[in-house]
């Protein structure tokens, strides 16, 4: 994009300085993105590249494109990527096994065709200044305002492509919802219903919330064993020394639900 401006002799001095500072950094970041080991670092470098590109766009008198690049790509898409990466975990290594067959071939083809497209578009704008539908220059393109110019093109000449892309996106969103949807055999109980259940007749402790730890301990002396969730005493909860001295109480009186048959223990 910038080479275009450079060759066309449109670049001012500040813009050239900006380009020569940012461009090497972008290339370094792009190489680093492939070479770094952690996925999150990779994602960060990619975000850096996106933001730098946006700065280029803004410097090239395309402020709307630049800002949208940051809002959509850096703000939403990369953030979703990070979201997933963080869920995967800090230290997880990527597996190098191909999960989709023929992935590399397809990726290579897609990359090559993208390159061809870019070269075609660049050549058209560099050389095709004279032919109909060719480049007309920034002044004419931005004559009614940058945003207004974009809007006019988007909603007149490219409205069909725009609608097709939006239909594709909506289909993808619907697909994600269908794939992520899970039928519940029984409707989910709401917080209100759970609360009503707790107060309903027949529940053991009407209105009580879930007991917090230690609620059922009936003594806090060191020589009395703690109770496990099923009501039985935890043998390891009393210190060995106390056990050796024979100071341990018979646990039976402290067991829950076993009051009647607990005497023999």
Partner 1 sequence: MIHQSAIVTADLLGKDPGWLIIVKTLLVFVFLVIMVLLSIWGERRVVARMQMRLGPNRVGPFGLLQGLADGIKLALKEDIVPKAADRIVFILAPIISATTCFMAFAVIPMTGQVSLLGRKTAFQLTDLSVGVLYILSIASVGVYGIVLAGWSSGSTYPLLGALRSSAQVISYEVAMGLSLVAVFLYAGSMSTSDIVASQDKWWYVVVLFPSFVIYTISMVGETNRAPFDLAEAEGELVGGFHTEYSSLKFALFFLAEYVNILTVSALATTLFLGGYRALPGLGFTERWLGGWFTFVWFLAKLLAFLFFFIWLRGTLPRLRYDQFMKFGWKVLIPISLVWTLIVSTLRALSLRGAPTAVIVGFTGGVVLILLVVGSLFEAAKRKEQEALSSVITKPSHFAVPQLPMSISTHRVPSAPSRSMEATDE
Interacting residue ranges for partner 1, rule: CB under 8 A: 38, 40-41, 44, 47, 51, 54, 63-64, 67-68, 70-71, 74-76, 79-80, 82-83, 86-87, 90, 145-147, 186-187, 189-190, 193-194, 197-198, 200, 202-205, 210-211, 215-216, 218-219, 221, 223, 229-231, 245-250, 253-254, 256-257, 259
Query: Looking at beta carbons only, is 104 or 218 nearer to partner 1?
Result: 218
Query: Looking at beta carbons only, is 98 or 204 nearer to partner 1?
Result: 204
Could you tell me the smallest distance in angstroms from the CB atom of residue 221 to partner 1?
7
Residue-by-residue DSSP string for 95-162: P---SSTTHHHHHHHHHHHHHHHHHHHHHHHHHTTSSTTS---HHHHTTT-HHHHHHHHHHTTTHHHH
Residue-by-residue DSSP string for 24-87: HHHHHHHHHHHH-SSHHHHHHHHHHHHHHHHHHHHHTT-HHHHHHIIIIIIIIIHHHHHHHHHH
Query: Looking at beta carbons only, is 104 or 200 nearer to partner 1?
Result: 200
Query: Looking at beta carbons only, is 49 or 70 nearer to partner 1?
Result: 70
Query: Looking at beta carbons only, is 9 or 229 nearer to partner 1?
Result: 229
Task: Specify the residue for token string 């043998």.
Answer: 235
Could you tell me the smallest distance in angstroms from the CB atom of residue 146 to partner 1?
6
Sign of the dihedral defined by the CA atoms of residues 165, 171, 177, 180, in that order: negative
Sign of the dihedral defined by the CA atoms of residues 67, 68, 74, 75, in that order: positive
Could you tell me the smallest distance in angstroms from the CB atom of residue 218 to partner 1?
5
Could you tell me the smallest distance in angstroms from the CB atom of residue 249 to partner 1?
5
Which residues, in sequence order, are bridge partners of residue 227? 233
Could you tell me the smallest distance in angstroms from the CB atom of residue 64 to partner 1?
5
Residue 233 in 3-state DSSP?
strand
Query: Looking at beta carbons only, is 2 or 146 nearer to partner 1?
Result: 146
Could you tell me the smallest distance in angstroms from the CB atom of residue 211 to partner 1?
5
Q: For residue 142, what are the contacts with CB-CB under 8 A and spacing of at least 6?
A: 61, 149
What secondary structure letter does DSSP report for 206?
T
């Amino acid at each position: 994009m910038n080479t275009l401006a450079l060759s066309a002799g449109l670049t001012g001095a500040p813009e050239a300085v900006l380009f020569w500072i940012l461009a090497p950094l972008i290339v370094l970041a792009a190489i680093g993105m492939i070479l770094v080991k952690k996925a999150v670092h990779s994602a960060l470098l990619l975000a850096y590249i996106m933001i730098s590109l946006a700065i280029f766009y803004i410097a090239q008198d395309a402020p709307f494109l630049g800002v949208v690049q940051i809002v959509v790509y850096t703000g939403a898409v990369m953030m979703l990527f990070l979201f997933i990466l963080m869920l995967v975990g800090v230290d997880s290594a990527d597996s190098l096994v191909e999960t989709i067959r023929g992935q590399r071939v397809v990726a290579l083809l897609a990359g090559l065709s993208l390159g061809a497209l870019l070269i075609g578009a660049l050549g058209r704008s560099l050389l095709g200044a004279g032919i109909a539908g060719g480049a007309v220059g920034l002044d004419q393109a931005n004559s009614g305002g940058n945003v207004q110019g974009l809007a006019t093109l988007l909603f007149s000449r490219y409205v069909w492509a725009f609608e097709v892309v939006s239909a594709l996106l909506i289909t993808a969103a619907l697909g994600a919802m269908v794939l992520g949807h899970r039928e519940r055999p029984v409707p989910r109980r709401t917080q209100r219903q759970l609360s009503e259940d707790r107060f309903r007749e027949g529940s053991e402790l009407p209105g009580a919330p879930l007991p917090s730890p230690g609620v059922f301990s009936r003594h806090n002396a060191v020589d009395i064993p703690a109770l496990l969730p099923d009501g039985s005493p935890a043998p390891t909860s009393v210190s060995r020394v106390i056990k050796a001295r024979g100071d341990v109480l018979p646990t039976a009186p402290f067991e829950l639900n076993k009051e009647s048959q607990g005497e023999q223990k």
